[in-house]
Chain A
Amino acid sequence: MKEKAVIQGFVKNLKARKRTGLVWHVVFQASTVVGIIALIALMLNVIDGAFGYVAYEARVDPDTLIVDGMPVEDQNKEQLVALLQSTLSSGAYNKLDNEKSFVDRSREEVYQLVVERIIKPKVVQVWKLWPSLTQADEIRATVAQDHPGAELDFVSWLTYDFVSRPQTSEPLTAGVRTAIFGSLWTILFTILFAFPVGVGASIYLEEYASDHWLNRIIQTNINNLAGVPSIVYGILGLAIFVRALEPLTSGEVFGLVDPTTANGRTVLSAGLTLGLLVLPIIIINAQEAIRAVPRSLRNASYGVGATKWQTVWSHVLPNAMPGILTGTILAVSRAIGETAPLVVVGASTAISFDPSSPFSKFTTLPIQIYQWTSRPQDEFRSLAAASILVLLVLLLTLNASAILLRNRFSRRY
């Protein structure tokens, strides 16, 4: 009798236990779905901002620029140059001519100048993609009512022109070329500095270091540095590279001071700061790659009389290289997305020329996104969304190449 009661109690209990189990299963699954929804919302939000209707007004009515019955967009290059010459002040015209001679400019480039300098379209309102698709009629009605002189176009803010144009203060003609080059220049110095030092440090720690207190401190220190907030590296970079090493980072000691540069706030300073930031990540990843090379390979090398360095150079490094490169690419993609340290190091906010040397002023893609996002006007948010897409494509390419590298060269022992 008693046994039966126990079993019945157990069975009754079992139902409740299974129900609780089911409820929590749903909770766990729902959390995962929430995470995925967050990622999708993030992506859709960026895409939503990067396309849509834009209403703009020309400051100079293109109809007043008709020559011989031809509207501006049909005129040939000579006519456009003449138009520029007659409309702009001679100083402004000569400045443009000095930047790049009008003889060398293509018709398209001259037309761009006419649009930028004379017609000067001004954005009056922008709409995101979703309202543009669902409420197109309302938008047209609003524009016709509020801004009768305005043109309404459905635009993609992300175009080839956007990628290839330098930054300007006019949203319709702004581009990210300056920022892309700034990012690439900065990353170049990050890699030049952090890759050799990082790989060297990992070889030392894995192959040479004995269990000495100093080596243990080095290892602990690297692990801790990996957790230091990036902005602290920015402050360090400001103190050391921008200020203390200013003669070096501004190119003064080499006699190469860029005429445009402001003190030590250069590509070189930014690259080295990011280098310090990713160094611990590169070291930790490279250590793992080196650790994965089997002992037997080293012993075989020693067995035929190789020295330590010969063993490392000819056997350990070639076998660990795919892992080291994968880790480095991941670290570099982290560096490309970093914003905070570069703001502190002193990225320039408004420059329209590409960096040309390590001692140039710079701006980078994330900095550009930050600048545009912080502007209150919607058109700059759209520009920010378009540049986020550029940045994400860049990062995706890097990460995909890291994965390819890992799959192509990964070995199992």
Chain B
Amino acid sequence: MAEIVMKRVNQDKKPLNLRRRARLGETVIQALLFFSGFFSIFTTIGIVYELGKEALLFFQMPEFNFIETLTSVEWKPHVGKFGIWPLLNSTMMTTLIAMAIAIPLGLSVAIYLSEYSSPRVRSVLKPVLEVLAGIPTIVYGYFALTFMTPVLRELFGRDVVQIYNTGSAGLVMGILILPLITSMTEDALSAVPRSLREAAYAMGGTKLEVALQIVLPAALSGIAAAIIIGISRAVGETMIVAVAAGAGPNFTFNPFVGAETITGHIVRISGGDLSYDSVDYNSIFALGLFLFFTTLFLNVISQAVVRRFREVYE
């Protein structure tokens, strides 16, 4: 037996090759994996190309006038009035109200969880916040319409507060964004090393002074990123405003009357039978593209903030 093997080896005159062989299977698999990875690029290209293409048709319409769009306060695409302000204004209003709720509450909860609460309390509260974050936004929409709006109407009077209003949508949106800001801020606060806190305590700082003057500044980049992501989420939030903020563009600064946001407008327009290549059809692409670039811009800023201002500790 052994002789046969030896013979075989001797017959095979080529020296044993230990170099990597090209394996077809491995190459094919690597190509497939690369394709999967590259797929997300297609998505981005798809968004920019498809949305851009239809948006371009919108911008090229004879009635469209760029200066008028930026100055007019009437959005009636059917009669050639393309003032963006009614939609943009209500988007900014709901976002502002939401952040007015979510930033102070979110930061307070995060500071409480990270600096004050016992591990046991935290282990109960964090899952509660996760539950809050996992509830579909349509449920928040229902909540805004059937709870927050009646509450506002009781508080401020039925004549003052309309059934559909941006205030209730904004408030509920704040509750929606609260867990997002809390969890990102809490992560940032927990990443600040213990030694910093202990040094501050050794200097005689109270708990509050340590939290606000030492830990908070050290985690500022993470907190700023959380707030920016929160804003981006509020701008793109759709179902709450679609249900509770009212139908029909309305240029107003009154949070108690109905006004349609960009996202709410897209949902209402596309909810009906939308025919291809109509003014409405093209307009939602233009608005979608605007939303895409706005949120992209905010996300990029937030990443840049983290990179630029992060305090790195050993």
Contacts and interface: CB of A to CB of B under 8 A. Distances in A.
Given A42-B140, A343-B271, A32 B47 contact: no
B134 A217 contact: no
Nearest to A128: B146
Interface string B102-138: 0011001101110011000000010011011011111
A391 B109 contact: no
B238 interface: yes
A49 B145 CA distance: 12
Interface residues of B, number: 86
B69 to A, nearest CB: 19
A218 B41 contact: yes
A279 B39 contact: yes
Contacts of A243: 276
B125 A32 contact: yes
B125 A338 contact: no
Contact of B285 (A29, A229, A235): A235
A192 to B, nearest CB: 14
Given A231-B266, A370-B239, A24 B39 contact: no
A218 B212 CA distance: 38
A261 interface: no
A388 B35 CA distance: 39
B109 A28 contact: yes
B146 A18 contact: no
Nearest to A376: B163
A343 B267 contact: yes
A16 to B, nearest CB: 10
A406 to B, nearest CB: 13
B46 interface: yes
Nearest to A310: B26
B170 interface: no
A384 B23 CA distance: 57
A229 B235 contact: yes
Contacts of B50: 236, 239-240, 244
A127 to B, nearest CB: 13
Interface string A217-228: 110011111011
Interface in B225-276: 229, 232-233, 235-239, 242-243, 263, 266-267, 270-271, 274, 276
Nearest to B44: A221
B51 A35 contact: no
A110 interface: no
Interface stretch (B153-161, B195-203, B291-299): B291-299
B51 A235 contact: yes
A46 B142 contact: yes
A232 B131 CA distance: 25
B181 to A, nearest CB: 11
A218 B39 CA distance: 9
Contact of B236 (A21, A49, A232, A343): A232
B236 A230 contact: yes
A31 B103 CA distance: 11
A150 interface: no
B89 to A, nearest CB: 18
Given A39-B132, A339-B239, A208 B54 contact: no
B108 A28 contact: yes
Given A39-B132, A221-B44, A240-B46, A309 B25 contact: yes
B33 to A, nearest CB: 4
Contacts of A39: 128, 131-132
Contacts of B235: 229
Contacts of B182: 35
A227 B40 contact: no
Interface string B47-69: 10011001000000000000000
A396 to B, nearest CB: 9
Contacts of A215: 37
Q: Considering the complex of A and B, which 5 residue pairs feature the smallest CB-CB distances, nearest first?
A: A229-B236, A337-B136, A200-B36, A31-B108, A28-B112
Given A42-B139, A235-B284, 6 more contacts: A20-B208, A38-B178, A231-B238, A333-B134, A339-B138, A369-B139
16 contacts: A25-B208, A28-B109, A32-B113, A35-B109, A42-B175, A198-B36, A208-B34, A218-B41, A229-B291, A231-B291, A236-B46, A307-B26, A309-B29, A340-B263, A343-B271, A399-B134
Interface of B: 23, 25-26, 29-30, 32-41, 43-44, 46-47, 50-51, 54, 104-105, 108-109, 111-113, 116-117, 125, 128-129, 131-132, 134-143, 145-147, 175, 178-179, 182, 206-209, 212, 229, 232-233, 235-239, 242-243, 263, 266-267, 270-271, 274, 276, 284-285, 288, 291-292, 295-296, 298-300, 303
